[in-house]
Amino acid sequence: MKNIRNFCIIAHIDHGKSTLADRLLDFTGSVTDREKQDQLLDNMDLERERGITIKSHAIQMEYTYKGEEFILNLIDTPGHVDFSYEVSRSIAACEGALLIVDAAQSIQAQTISNLYLALENDLEIIPVLNKVDLPSANPEEVTDDIVDLLGCDAEEVIHASGKTGFGVDNILAAIIERVPAPKGDPNEPLQALIFDSVYNTFRGIETYFRVFNGEIKKGQKIKFVATDKEYFADEVGTLKLNQVPKQSVKAGDVGYLITGIKTAKEVKVGDTITDFAKPTTNIVEGFEDVKPMVFAGIYPVDTEDYEDLRASMEKLQLNDASLVFSPESSAALGFGFRCGFLGMLHLEIIQERLEREFDMTVITTVPNVSYLAYTNKEPDTSFIVNNPSDLPDPSTINRVEEPFIKATIITKSDFVGNVMSLCIEKRGIITNQTYLTTQRVELTFEMPLAEIVFDFYDRLKTVSKGYASFDYSPIGMKVSKLVRLDILLNAQSVDALSALIHADNAQQIGKKMCEKLKELIPRQQFDIPVQAAIGAKIISRETIKALRKDVTAKCYGGDISRKRKLLEKQKKGKKRMRQVGNVEIPQQAFMAVLKLND
């Protein structure tokens, strides 16, 4: 056990985690020349296309250092704020972390939040300064920033380059010397933590675990503590680039387990695996249930695909434990699911993965957040409002509370004004402003979560020319003046387009939504009024004009009354059509509501 090291890589998005992981694999000879490719651990097409890590990936390397054989278990983690849950799980399975900072971009918001996560779990932090070979790199200044943040010595910061492989030997030496070996007793009853799982069509669910005490043997009867179900370990082994079956996986090591489980609900990430005959008494602590930030409805395009969609979502939930969903129905879209996501990027990724991996084409409704409403009858009892249609009649409401977040934005001092005006427009209140260096400022805001759900991140990048980094954490609920904005098409309310909006912005947003829908909804044979309403009060209206056949073409001259007669006849027909006509809403109309500022 003293020769095992478990470590993860944490950093802000785009600071070179996956590339450095590639170099570590090359240097330790864990991959052959045939298997080599860039971002080797990012095995999803989506991850490669976007250049981001979505899943944390575990891999085992063997390395000889000063004549001794060492086993290094590496977990590469995502950097985007929407996938911070993946990072927390990886950290729970490790004793050390490589904190990577880009020498050109310095410390950013996620660097700090991921570092705090690691420190809470008492991990040994090894600071690495990456991309020192770039012409724009500024190693001395960034090293000073790291020393200020961590309180370490400048000599402890390892200079490296993921592109050229410079400094990789120093990183491996630091991992072996600085990261503590796992503690645990191989003779105790089995105690292992599940930190990830994937669905394999042929073999059922593959569970990834870290053993804290005891050992898990092939063929052993084991029990999952949270679900209280028992299984036989059909296959156990370690995770190289491909799975390597072993007879047993001992304390301190990371491995995979196949038990032939077919039902997704039976495996919970954060659960403890123990021996059936001699169960352990201490359960692995440290996993809280994920708290979704953004909610949206996901509906199959064809109602008959509802059950297939449920099966796909369950399989996807195995691979992404931060996805939460429950069934719901909508008058406009039929049966579907109400899903909770950690952010807008997470929502986009889930939608893409459903289409690619499971061949499910889905409609996504306008994302929103959860509110608490209090009525006049019971002002002390709240109920959760997930959907705008759940909000009761305005006259009966005592107050509505909405979730607030603490947002940390790190940007260049040139863009402070732009960033502040964006946050104030989004109802943010500035609570702190700190100059990290003469060039870089950390701004702290309290903002409603609903305001950052849609386009905040994109607009932040625009106003700061790409130089702002953003991180947030929830701080609880606050009373707010919210109204329900309904969209009426042809005098019929469309529940999927309703939104809960702050009263001050309702007029402006209603007008923009009507204009946007007028562009997107195709013209019909009859006039369609598009109206935005709060309760019974219409606050904005646009009309989609009818397509008209020229019925007067056959009248060439003669009295005007002949033309009038034909036009009146047409008008009656259009009126009748409008009473029975249904308006088809295209999918992009649902999504366009999010991009009102484009």
Residues contributing to the annotated binding site: 14-19, 130-133
Distances (CA, A) of 241 to 64, 238, 244, 562: 19, 10, 9, 82
DSSP for 193-239, written as a single string: EEEEEEEETTTEEEEEEEEEESEEETT-EEEETTTTEEEE--EEEEE
Residues annotated within the binding site for GTP are 14-19, 130-133
Between CA 55 and CA 450 the distance in angstroms is 26
Q: Which DSSP letter does residue 182 get? A: P
Between CA 563 and CA 546 the distance in angstroms is 19
**Which of 27, 28, 25 lies closest to 9 in space, CA to CA?**
25
**Which of 235, 216, 318 lies closest to 274 in space, CA to CA?**
216
Strand 254-258 to 204-213 pairing: antiparallel
Q: What amino acid is encoded at 481 in this protein? A: K
| Backbone Cα Rg of the chain | 28
Beta-bridge mates of residue 74? 7, 59
Distances (CA, A) of 169 to 38, 127, 162, 288: 20, 14, 12, 37
486 three-state secondary structure: strand
**Which of 477, 291, 453 lies closest to 400 in space, CA to CA?**
477
Q: Would you say 345 and 476 are in contact if contact means Cβ atoms under 8 Å apart?
A: no
For 497-533, letters b (16+ CB in 10 Å) and e give bbbbbbeebbeebbbbbbebbbebbeebebbbebbbb
Between CA 14 and CA 481 the distance in angstroms is 39
DSSP for 106-141, written as a single string: -S-HHHHHHHHHHHHTTPEEEEEEE-TTSTT--HHH
